[in-house]
Structure 1
Amino acid sequence: MATLSVVFAVLAAVSNALGTVLQRRAALIVPQSDGFQLQLMWDLLRTPIWFFGILGVIFAAVFQGLALVTGPLAVVQPIFVLELPFALLISGLVFRKPMPRSGWLSVACIVVGLGTALAAAAPSGGELQPPAALWLLALLCCGGMMVVLAGAALKRPVGRARAACLGTAAAIGYALTAALMKSATDTLDHGGVRAFFTAWQTYAFAAVGVCALFLLENAMQAGPLVASQPALTLGDALISLSLGVTLYSESVRVGWWLVPEIFGVGLVLLGVVGLSRLQSGSGAPEEEARSESAETSVDVSETA
């Protein structure tokens, strides 16, 4: 079951990376906004490529649900760190900016580091359904941080800082969504369809997921993918690990196992920083795409 969970988690990471890049492409096509506006969602709904991005997100949700019902939250969600290299590789294809050799070294650091950390930590066990008191605490803490980060983002101009704040807020939302989804899928597995649709977690993970998606859409429009994606993937993994341990009482190995765990996390961070610097100095293909979109809009308006 553990191997099956890992396979589903990797498939979810690939699907989500594809969806994220396509949504980023769509966000560059629609008119840019300075604040949170529902008009952004309406503009995206009229953009065909956005639907393909949402399709990737839907497949990711299905794979994620299968992974969560077959494995611990502390195993499944950290694997989503792989979404970052997958997203940058796919971004290179979509924006016609191939990954240089140095980028592959960073990708290798992330993969090896993640494998080392998870193998050393060996998350296992846990409760199937957390108590109501812990759910209330988790909802208040995660929801409060999402509001604080969104408010901080609104005080900053469009750019990397704003994208990072929104990306982190989205990461918290996605981690909480995964925790709620794990509870809901367990209800579906043991109680059937009727129990699934009468459980509050089902509607909670849908609502939190929509909020996280809205924050992500604004994060991708607020700045380059390299600013929002690391915050999203690393934040999701770390917060999910914390929720797995505190909310679901999942266990990880400590003692001398902390040495390879820290080493693995260090490799992951090294790879993320390497990919970030690579994207920062690569000519920002997203900005070029936005410029092309802007020029196309001007040409159309002048023709009209």
Structure 2
Amino acid sequence: MYFQEKNVQLTVVDNEDELIKLEKHWPNVQILIRLKTKDSKSLISFSDKFGANEHIATRLFELAKKLNLNIVGCAFHVGTGCYDDNAFQHALQFAQHIFQIAKKYQFHLTILDIGGGFPGFDEDHRPSFSQLAQTIRQSLDEFFPQRENIQIIAEPGRYFAAASMDLVASIIACRSNNKDYLNFSSKEEKENVDKDLIDYVYYINESTYGSLSNILYENTTYSITCLRKEHSQLIKHGETKYKSIVYGPTCDSSDIVSLAVDLPLLNIGDHLLIYHVGAYSNSFSTKFNGFQTIKYFYIWKD
């Protein structure tokens, strides 16, 4: 088996069928029970797809005992993009309860995987990574004190990846959002009041079907800065800005990079610098509409 060749020693289960497979193909593996969490406030919840509640977890302990399998801990994930302090606190309290149930079946649990869901960068009006970490630290001290010698695993992938990549996109088309353009006919009054608020429309050479897919999947709002084509410099402070829409290049009208962003007056060939797009960007990128994936340039700084 591949996992045996690679010396994999740990796996996760949340149902009895998985235990039966392990007993047949991998009886000496160390097992974590994946727990269901309250993740309704996360951008993408996982508990509909993964996780055992208390009743199922108890049955897994019973079956593992009969099959002579080794359960060594629990794992959970509060969902992608979790900004709710209480979600981690509740999940840790629930995990501590499952650890106590395990003792009734003579399982001594020593590993707790608290998953991911951590933000990749700080945003206004949302808890920061440091605030969430403080809440988790306090909850761990309460439910899993150091004297119990529990190994804690965390998966802060987005936290490490997000700020590792910025995107430079070129403006390939632009237009004024004036009334003559928006009206179906020259005499028609506009019906869509929201579009009255938009002054300019820009089209760039990267898409929500490319490295900006988090805009579609997670409603992510990225920080955007402008670069002039002529001088390759940031826009000057105090320059007049206009309410603008930024579209991707595809035929899909929902390919919207930013619905209402304040930008100076830009021209074809100017650039948008979009920050912190390292998480789930190139890995989700497609060639929809025949557009190729973007080029990546790696920069190391001492």
TM-score (structure 1 length as normaliser): 0.25
Greater C-alpha Rg: 2
TM-score (structure 2 length as normaliser): 0.25
| Greater fraction strand | 2
| Greater fraction helix | 1
**More relative contact order, 1 or 2 (CA 8 Å, 6+ apart):** 1
